[in-house]
Amino acid sequence: MENKNFEEQKYIKAKKKVKAIKGFYVHFAIYLIVNAFFIISRVFSGGGYEDLWEWQTYNTAIFWGIGILFHAFKVFGMGFLLGKDWEDRKIKEYMDKDKREFWE
């Protein structure tokens, strides 16, 4: 009975994690669509391609992007950028590189 309860708790936790990841991807997709629309509409609203070099063209994308970054940290944790897996991959990469250079 206790094992079943434990499995159910694991299932609920995994389901919440999947829902959070899905929520992040939906948020990110909306971010891309809305900001692409803002940038394209700004270019075609009469300002032309000169508007691509103005701050006002990107301020929404930049500030909303900061919010997206915090959302990613909440969902994936701080390790998704430079986590343990990244460290292990980099160490292996440098060791392999040194090995190749030594034998060349």
% the chain with pLDDT above 70: 88
Domain count across the chain: 1
Q: What is the per-residue pLDDT for 1?
A: 59
Query: How confident is residue 8, by pLDDT bands cut at 50, 70 and 90?
Result: confident
For residue 62, pLDDT beyond 80: yes
Query: Is 39 domain-assigned?
Result: yes
Query: Is 89 domain-assigned?
Result: no
Contact 51, 42 (CB under 8 A): yes
Q: What is the per-residue pLDDT for 27?
A: 97
Q: What is the dihedral of CA 46, 52, 57, 62, to 10 degrees?
A: 160
Q: Which domain holds residue 62?
A: 2-78
pLDDT: which is higher, 88 or 30: 30
Cα separation, 19 vs 25, whole angstroms: 10
Query: Is 84 domain-assigned?
Result: no
Query: Is 92 domain-assigned?
Result: no
**pTM across the whole model:** 0.69
Cα separation, 104 vs 99, whole angstroms: 9
